[in-house]
Structure 1
Amino acid sequence: MASTDPKQGGGFFSSIATSLTNFGTAMTKSVNGILGYEGLEVVNPDGGTEDAEEEAKRGRWKHEDRDGHWKMMQNYVGSDVTSLVTLPVLIFEPMSMLQKMAELMEYSYLLDLADECEDPYMRLVYATSWFISVYYALQRTWKPFNPILGETYEMVNHGGITFIAEQVCHHPPMSAGHAENEHFIYDITSKVKTKFLGNSVDVYPLGRTRVTLKRDGVVLGLVPPPTKVNNLIFGRTWVDSPGEMILTNFTTGDKVVLYFQPCGWFGAGRYEVDGYVYNAAEEPKILMTGKWNESMSYQPCDLEGEPLPGTELKEVWRVANAPEKDRFQYTHFAHKLNSFDTAPKKLLASDSRLRPDRHALEKGDLSQASFEKSKLEERQRSEKRNREANGHEFTPRWFDFTNEVTPTPWGDLEVYSYNGKYTEHRAAVDDSSDGIQETNITPAEFNPWQYENFASE
């Protein structure tokens, strides 16, 4: 996709290592250097001068585990490792990918403002800032748990939103989500494609995102930038998302094109986001600038993209204060996602909060978390064998597979659509006289399984 920003000539991967100048060199070095990590180049996002070998040895893995995992992972260089590799629980956070999808809802008031706004360009400023807001949470380097097929996550009691997500496919891993309040409808089919490069992994978002603003029926579609996780095994792990974010108003043809700067030498440009809101004739109307981990601001501009005289740069969004020295770098909202305070009455037994491995990790019991994770994964494999033996197919409960295939910059995507059944289910539960949230919920109640009485082989 061609860029409208002249600063994009450097490419996505121009600074993924402190001594490398382009992606091709980095890829060659990763592949050629997999026989050992001595001398392995490690990206330091803070631009320190520490010896690369010493930096590499400071990785998140325990020393006795690191070499074994490094040798194992060599076999996957160049591969898509989305669901190929079973990873140890010590690199996980106590949250599933479905809960991670719900983190976008933290600053949902921005979409409320977009719906209420009469200015079509400011409407896009609010909506784009909402999409950018989640990147603060995405910089966490802990890995969320892969959802079990049929797993769900529900959220209420935040901004009037009802949120439901479901794992609709296991190979390849795909999730679908739906959120709604009085101002907007949010729908997503989420799928990622990865490429493992040795000490880093590229993540390409093949998902489809749609937002409908209810007042005028405006439909918005997002194409996010790719993400790169650096120093996956050696060195201090950190995340960057260099490239374009494009938000299009399908109703009017207006759009926003923002460029996420890559982290350069000594951390230059890291977190920076710049770009414009364009009208349907591709003329710039509002410039946007900021840092995805801090705040975003906007200012009206002329046809050359220069600020209009007499206007000033105004802040539209700022990240909320986060807990200090939190073990998993969680925000206050992330903690709420694990809490039953945001759960509805009669929580579905398939909800991520009830996962025993997630619950054990949250308590700090890595041994139990690892045991429970392996147990769930084996049960999932047993379910698959049973399903295939009986000629059955898994059918999602809250989303329907469609015949629609939508293109993305990184491949085609099969689309799942919300079928409305959860709205009916939730209304029935909320109206029932016994629809009271239980207070003695335990992790043992987690049940996403298709076969209720099926024992693991």
Structure 2
Amino acid sequence: MASNDQKQGGGFFSSIASSLSNFSNAMHKSVNGLIGYEGLEVINPEGGTEDAEEEAQRGRWKQEERDSYWKMMQKYIGSDVTSMVTLPVLIFEPMTMIQKMAELMEYCHLLDLADECEDPYMRLVYASSWAISVYYAYQRTWKPFNPILGETYEMVNHGGITFIAEQVSHHPPMSAGHAENDHFTYDVTSKLKTKFLGNSLDVYPVGRTRVTFKKDGVVLDLVPPPTKVNNLIFGRTWVDSPGEMVMTNLTTGDKVVLYFQPCGWLGAGRYEVDGYVYNAAEEPKILMTGKWNKSMSYQPCDLEGEPLSGTEMKEVWKVAAAPENDKFQYTHFAHKINSFDTAPRKLLASDSRLRPDRYALEKGDLSKAGAEKSSLEERQRAERRNREAKNQQFTPRWFSISGEVTPTPWGDLEVYQYNSKYGEHRASIESSDSDCIEEVDLKSIEFNPWQFGNVSAE
């Protein structure tokens, strides 16, 4: 495992250095010439029709907003800004971080196929393609809302799964999630670590992701690549995820290693993913190739990694059609996540859909969204003061700290585990005679994640 970590770290830092060097050189060319290449083109979230060079120079900020914010942010260069900076609502999308955790479930049918698969190497092909599939959604350049401590997100009516996520810590920001259907269970503890570099942001996924298949109990562990957000303040924002993704079968020792190519000169290599499925002896068995924003394919290979004669490349995953000119670059599934179509009966009052700032932004009222966001943040601080005054500790409802500390390439992680109480809660509702909530009146349900008093901002 040590060699894998070294290989992963080397791949990450070399790819970042290459990406920064290439992008710095490219910036010496005209802006219009740079974004004229498909590899670096990013959808304009506003759907505007202004000149490309002007839009790229301006980004989504007004001149005075950009200059003012840049002066404030300079002091944070080199720092982790995960929860220490208050950001303007104009750069947000109407979704929270724990809702984004559920986006990984869009292509969960691939995990169903992996559970049913008898071939241990094809199982990794299906499962790793599932892990790659979410990157199409992750290229969105809008920032999701940070969850309030105790906030939850529930999802049903998709692929037979039940999904629950909860914000289990505020400092440091940590979320835990659990999904389950007849084929698999999915468990994640997520803690993002960031490094602000001025006009860009490095995001390190300090987390643990496990998938357990119900057919034979096989457990897969996923280590995703880091992400880099470019042109945060100046120019047109775009996202890249250079580095290695490693998925390991903890039961057998087989693994798949996929390399996400960094965006090179004038966009060369962007989106491209290549790698192999290896057996426990680290011999290549299946090669995989594709683009994380389009599709992935596979083909059996020999010990040299060359395609076996008599075999052909086969597609295993293809991105679903997305809405055209969507303001927030949402997929159809992202809209589904935000809707109440995927909400269970008696939705928890702590659910992200009920946040007044998120809902106001979804309706296009930036002023109200900003005011509601500030109010929620102040109420969260007030609740913390109330809790500390009573010498009480916050305790998540649906997840428990396991006591296990696991190493990751970017730091150690305290692991939270699903405590099964949500399943018991949901079962009790399903067995009751309560009426099903078919339509939810947002005005009648107050967002309430608070455990120590719903303290209003003064």
Q: Provide the residue aligned with 1:184 in structure 2.
A: 184
Q: Report deviation, 1:402.
A: 1.8
Q: Report deviation, 1:239.
A: 0.3
Q: Provide the residue aligned with 1:324 in structure 2.
A: 324
Aligned to 2:157, the other structure's residue is in SS state coil
- Cα deviation 1:179-226 (Å, max 9, x = unaligned): 000000000000011000000000000010000011010000001100
In structure 2, give the amino acid aligned to 1:448: P
Q: Provide the residue aligned with 2:16 in structure 1.
A: 12
Identity %: 76
The structure-2 alpha-carbon separation of the partners of 1:66 and 1:401, relative to structure 1 and needing over 3 Å to count, comes to same
Q: Provide the residue aligned with 1:362 in structure 2.
A: 362
Instruction: Supply the distance in 2 between the matched residues of 1:56 and 1:322 (Cα, whole angstroms).
Output: 24
Q: Provide the residue aligned with 2:284 in structure 1.
A: 284
In structure 2, give the amino acid aligned to 1:209: T
- Cα deviation 1:248-303 (Å, max 9, x = unaligned): 00000000000000000111000000000000000000000000000000000000
Instruction: Supply the distance in 2 between the matched residues of 1:281 and 1:48 (Cα, whole angstroms).
Output: 39
- Cα deviation 1:140-169 (Å, max 9, x = unaligned): 000000000000000000000000000000
Aligned to 1:175, the other structure's residue is in SS state strand
Q: Provide the residue aligned with 1:87 in structure 2.
A: 87
- Cα deviation 1:19-62 (Å, max 9, x = unaligned): 5379xxx9xx9xxxxxxxxx99x98575789x999676322111
Aligned to 1:75, the other structure's residue is in SS state helix
Q: Provide the residue aligned with 2:411 in structure 1.
A: 411
Instruction: Supply the distance in 2 between the matched residues of 1:48 and 1:137 (Cα, whole angstroms).
Output: 17
Instruction: Supply the distance in 2 between the matched residues of 1:155 and 1:135 (Cα, whole angstroms).
Output: 20
1:111 corresponds to 2:115: no
Q: Provide the residue aligned with 2:452 in structure 1.
A: 451
The structure-2 alpha-carbon separation of the partners of 1:356 and 1:17, relative to structure 1 and needing over 3 Å to count, comes to farther
Unaligned runs of at least 5 residues, structure 2: 42-50
Q: Provide the residue aligned with 2:220 in structure 1.
A: 220
**Alpha-carbon RMSD:** 2.6
After TM superposition, the structure 1 stretch with the greater mean CA deviation from structure 2, 282-291 or 436-445, is 436-445
Instruction: Supply the distance in 2 between the matched residues of 1:411 and 1:369 (Cα, whole angstroms).
Output: 34
| TM-score after normalising by structure 2 | 0.91
The structure-2 alpha-carbon separation of the partners of 1:9 and 1:88, relative to structure 1 and needing over 3 Å to count, comes to closer
Instruction: Supply the distance in 2 between the matched residues of 1:169 and 1:10 (Cα, whole angstroms).
Output: 32
Q: Report deviation, 1:15.
A: 2.1
Q: Report deviation, 1:456.
A: 3.8
The structure-2 alpha-carbon separation of the partners of 1:452 and 1:297, relative to structure 1 and needing over 3 Å to count, comes to same
Q: Report deviation, 1:455.
A: 4.0
Q: Report deviation, 1:18.
A: 4.3
Instruction: Supply the distance in 2 between the matched residues of 1:131 and 1:73 (Cα, whole angstroms).
Output: 33
In structure 2, give the amino acid aligned to 1:170: H
Q: Provide the residue aligned with 1:34 in structure 2.
A: none
In structure 1, give the amino acid aligned to 2:308: L
1:425 corresponds to 2:425: yes
Matched-pair contact (CA < 8 Å) for 2:379–2:455: no
Aligned to 1:15, the other structure's residue is in SS state helix
Q: Report deviation, 1:178.
A: 0.2
In structure 1, give the amino acid aligned to 2:212: T
Aligned to 2:211, the other structure's residue is in SS state strand
Q: Report deviation, 1:17.
A: 5.4
Matched-pair contact (CA < 8 Å) for 2:345–2:429: yes
The structure-2 alpha-carbon separation of the partners of 1:236 and 1:17, relative to structure 1 and needing over 3 Å to count, comes to farther
Instruction: Supply the distance in 2 between the matched residues of 1:179 and 1:160 (Cα, whole angstroms).
Output: 10
The structure-2 alpha-carbon separation of the partners of 1:349 and 1:55, relative to structure 1 and needing over 3 Å to count, comes to closer
1:27-426 matches, cutoff 5 A: 44=35, 46=38, 57-426=57-426
Aligned to 1:225, the other structure's residue is in SS state coil
Matched-pair contact (CA < 8 Å) for 1:296–1:315: yes
The structure-2 alpha-carbon separation of the partners of 1:424 and 1:264, relative to structure 1 and needing over 3 Å to count, comes to same
Instruction: Supply the distance in 1 between the matched residues of 2:412 and 2:14 (Cα, whole angstroms).
Output: 27
Aligned to 1:359, the other structure's residue is in SS state helix
Instruction: Supply the distance in 2 between the matched residues of 1:46 and 1:342 (Cα, whole angstroms).
Output: 35
Instruction: Supply the distance in 1 between the matched residues of 2:452 and 2:54 (Cα, whole angstroms).
Output: 51
Matched-pair contact (CA < 8 Å) for 1:247–1:257: yes
Q: Provide the residue aligned with 2:44 in structure 1.
A: none
Aligned to 1:207, the other structure's residue is in SS state strand
The structure-2 alpha-carbon separation of the partners of 1:9 and 1:396, relative to structure 1 and needing over 3 Å to count, comes to closer
Aligned to 1:388, the other structure's residue is in SS state helix
Instruction: Supply the distance in 2 between the matched residues of 1:2 and 1:321 (Cα, whole angstroms).
Output: 38
After TM superposition, the structure 1 stretch with the greater mean CA deviation from structure 2, 56-65 or 325-334, is 56-65
Q: Report deviation, 1:2.
A: 4.0
In structure 2, give the amino acid aligned to 1:372: E
Q: Provide the residue aligned with 2:45 in structure 1.
A: none
Aligned residues: 441
Unaligned runs of at least 5 residues, structure 1: 30-38
The structure-2 alpha-carbon separation of the partners of 1:319 and 1:19, relative to structure 1 and needing over 3 Å to count, comes to closer
Aligned to 2:78, the other structure's residue is in SS state coil
Instruction: Supply the distance in 1 between the matched residues of 2:23 and 2:104 (Cα, whole angstroms).
Output: 35
Matched-pair contact (CA < 8 Å) for 1:8–1:259: no
Instruction: Supply the distance in 1 between the matched residues of 2:99 and 2:201 (Cα, whole angstroms).
Output: 22
Q: Report deviation, 1:442.
A: 1.1
In structure 2, give the amino acid aligned to 1:15: S
In structure 2, give the amino acid aligned to 1:329: Q
Instruction: Supply the distance in 1 between the matched residues of 2:243 and 2:265 (Cα, whole angstroms).
Output: 17
| TM-score after normalising by structure 1 | 0.92
Instruction: Supply the distance in 2 between the matched residues of 1:367 and 1:435 (Cα, whole angstroms).
Output: 36
- Cα deviation 1:320-363 (Å, max 9, x = unaligned): 00000000000000000011110000000000000000000000
Aligned to 1:112, the other structure's residue is in SS state helix
The structure-2 alpha-carbon separation of the partners of 1:440 and 1:182, relative to structure 1 and needing over 3 Å to count, comes to closer
Instruction: Supply the distance in 2 between the matched residues of 1:48 and 1:251 (Cα, whole angstroms).
Output: 40
Aligned to 1:107, the other structure's residue is in SS state coil
Q: Report deviation, 1:441.
A: 2.6
Instruction: Supply the distance in 1 between the matched residues of 2:13 and 2:349 (Cα, whole angstroms).
Output: 50
In structure 2, give the amino acid aligned to 1:253: G
Instruction: Supply the distance in 1 between the matched residues of 2:139 and 2:132 (Cα, whole angstroms).
Output: 12
The structure-2 alpha-carbon separation of the partners of 1:441 and 1:264, relative to structure 1 and needing over 3 Å to count, comes to same
